[in-house]
Amino acid sequence: MIGAGGSPFMYLEFGDIVIYFSPYTLSLFLLALVFTVLVIASRPERQLDIAFGADAYTTKDIGLPEMRFRRFMAIACGLASMGAMVTGDVFDFCLFTSLVGICNVGIVAAVRSRHVQNAAFQYGLVALAGTVPLFGGAAIVAATTGTLSLIELSSTALPAVPAVVKGFLVLGVMGEGMAPFYAAKAEMFRAPGAPYVIMCSLSSLLIFLRVIEVVLQV
Amino acid sequence: MIPYLLFATFFGLLLLGIHRKLIARIQRRPGPPIWQEILHTLKFSFKSTWIPATASEVLFVSVVLIAIGIWTAAFFVLVTGGSLLIIFAIYMLHKIVEHGFGLSSGSPYGKFGGVRSVISAASEIPLFVSVSAVAIFTGSLQISDIIAYQAETGPLLFTIPLAAIALYLVILSKVPASPFAIVESKEIVSGYKTEHFGVWRAGLETCNGLKSYVLLLTFITVFIGALPFLGILLTMLLLVVSLAFVCALCPMLSPFDSVTIQTIITGIMLIYVLYLGVFG
Amino acid sequence: MTGALYSWGLLVVLGSAVIGFAALAIEKDDLHRLLLIDLVEIASIGIIALIGTDLAEALILPGLVVGIAELLALSQIYLMKEDLRDRTVRIPKIEVLQELPAPLILSMILIVYGIILSGFTGGAVAGLGAIFFIAARTRTEDLHLLELASGLSWVLWIAAFFVFMFLPEYWYLALMGAAVGILIKVITKMSLMGVMWEARS
């Protein structure tokens, strides 16, 4: 299907890699940009904990080195998701997606708590397993059609990509984008999250939304 | 376009007020007047406002603007006949906004609301199912094409009723007091919006009004087609009445049950769209 | 013919991936799972390699880099999670390394040969020479200069790619820039690897 997200209105050519902006990818790109700026600009929340059994509250303050690391990871994650939103190449999309996966592990893993690190490790294993269908799917696209460019793939002249490959791509993105669930499992309650954890769920959601467009186009 | 946007916001708020009144009447309570939500929004606009000491300031404020921004974008895409995929994306990104509302405040109640919003991710998939079912039949995702298709062959509501039910359930999970409204249920005070008060709450209410209007308009445009303006408003009212009956008569589910039921619905819908894709 | 060959190859690689995933599902120990996941990762490189063109060669490298990066990140998390400490690194006691002129001459030969080769391979050869030299030294130097050189050469490499994209008529300049950039980068990265580890512990 050509132009599932509206017809592209702007092309940026880097050699044979063509980046294109359609209304759909542009709006996703802008959201990634806005949230990346927010991550740069805002200080972390100071989380309130209720002390059970007593009538008291405590606030958790986040240490400076930990905050710096998580902020760096969140910014890198934002940049990677921006790249994944606008790229016009299946393989580049896969690379950016796995970069998002690594950054998500990083955002979650910086917290010095055994539970959180366990969750981060398990999520990392899933993300690493997710690269197999992801890159495999991209490689089979290249092998069956001879191109990786989304613009060329959306034209009907090329042989059709098998449905299994589309399934591979979606499966890979689901593997890379599992972070919010792991974050919900342990991270949220134990560590101050905003605005870094939001980057986790935002990037996962964005790559999920983009892969729908990619799958519709190839 | 700007007057229409304002109208949509206020009409959406009015619909929410009617929804609330109807639930109250069904449950034999007097209930607030139907313009209560509009009054709320106006009242909150002039109350004293500050940012909680525990909040992540920039995010706390900007998430309100983002919420209004994305639904304004959705409104314009819908009215100008853009891609249905963009509306789907904005609907899913609303989850991030809820998450942002909850996490930015530093309050445990808000945080629980945000986390519940993330774990109920299954509620978005039925929307994708109805989007893909529509795409299978009309061959396009442009809303203008979908309207043209329905002008030719009659409303999609009768062609793919299950997809329409999927979208109806999606709208149901977002209205207040619905069985699936775990993100703002009362045991966590007000869920993700607990800490947003004053002008921030007014912004949130504005977003809610616009969101209700956009979601109902999406349902009408995609499954019924082009109607005269009064017809659209009347159909919206009918939809709100039906939603109010569901909300008033169904108990609010616990988070686990809510997610389970949404996942089961999603599974059924996925099978349906696979069936449509293969035999349709 | 090639089509049939490709299908068979794909079947074999996917089969091995399935075996790897099955092992992963059975295994419960985290360290073993980390090792197994690396094995599964190789299957995805295999699928890319099956394309069998220049493009495949160009795609394997980033795929490999991403895989290694994830593996490194996970190993680091594993270390922190299990609270494991690094072993102290000792310089191996090899007779040749004790005599000063010998390693100097050897590393000079390797570095000169590496510069003649240039590019990625040349960088690896010259880097080996640099490692040889550093392993033989008796005192520790300030490594910041090396790190700086590594970073700057990386910038040169990227800049050369921009020249390729936007000013293709200067392709020769860009080619030389990229070759020198990657040469210096690989030299410094390879020589820094062990040394920084030692400096940390």
The domain limits of chain C are 2-82, 95-200
Q: How many domains does chain B have?
A: 1
Residues in a beta bridge with A149: A89
For residue C174, which residues of chain A lie inside 8 Å, CB to CB? Answer: none
Q: Do A125 and C74 touch (CB under 8 A)?
A: yes
Q: What's the whole-number mean pLDDT along residues C14-42?
A: 87
How close C91 comes to chain A (CA, Å)? 32
Q: What's the whole-number mean pLDDT along residues B152-156?
A: 78
Q: What's the whole-number mean pLDDT along residues C150-157?
A: 85
Tokens of C55: 């493009």
- Tell me which residue in B53, B57, B99 faces A42 most closely, judged by beta carbons: B57
**A55 contact partners, CB below 8 Å, separation of at least 6:** none
Residues in a beta bridge with A14: A17
Predicted pLDDT of residue A183: 59
Q: Do B139 and A1 touch (CB under 8 A)?
A: yes
Q: Which H or E element spans position A19?
A: strand A17-21
Contact at 8 Å (CB) between B170 and B222?
no
Residue C55 has pLDDT above 80, yes or no: no
Predicted pLDDT of residue B213: 92
- Tell me which residue in B66, B85, B103 faces A45 most closely, judged by beta carbons: B103
Please name the chains neighbouring A, where neighbouring means 3+ C-beta pairs under 8 angstroms: B, C
Q: pLDDT digit string (tens) for C99-151?
A: 667 777 888 888 888 888 776 777 778 878 877 777 666 555 666 777 788 88
pTM > 0.90: yes or no: no
How close A140 comes to chain C (CA, Å)? 8
Predicted pLDDT of residue B241: 92
Q: How far apart are the first and last CA of chain B?
A: 38
Q: Do A132 and C50 touch (CB under 8 A)?
A: no
The residues in A 8-37 lying below 8 A from C, measured between CB atoms, are 14-15
Q: How far is CA B80 from the centre of its chain?
A: 20
Please name the chains neighbouring B, where neighbouring means 3+ C-beta pairs under 8 angstroms: A
Give the range of the structural domain holding residue B21, as residue numbers without chain letter.
2-279
Give 3-state DSSP helix, strand, coil % of chain A, rounded to 5: 65, 10, 20
For residue C50, which residues of chain A lie inside 8 Å, CB to CB? Answer: 139, 143
Between chain A and chain B, the number of residue pairs with CB atoms below 8 A apart is 128
Chains C and B touch (3+ CB pairs under 8 A): no
Name the interface residues of B facing A (CB cutoff 8 Å).
53-59, 62, 66, 70, 73, 77, 82-83, 85-86, 88-90, 92-93, 95-96, 99-100, 103-108, 111, 114-115, 118-119, 121, 128, 135, 139-142
- Tell me which residue in A27, A41, A184 faces B86 most closely, judged by beta carbons: A27
Predicted pLDDT of residue B242: 92
How close C22 comes to chain A (CA, Å)? 12
Stretches in chain A below the pLDDT threshold 70: 1-6, 14-16, 47-52, 58-62, 156-157, 179-194
Q: How far is CA A218 from the centre of its chain?
A: 20
Residues in chain C: 201
How close A55 comes to chain B (CA, Å)? 15
Residue B264 has pLDDT above 80, yes or no: yes
For residue A48, which residues of chain B lie inside 8 Å, CB to CB? Answer: 54, 106-108
Contact at 8 Å (CB) between C135 and C92?
yes
Predicted pLDDT of residue A60: 66
- Nearest chain A residue to C37 by CA distance is A129
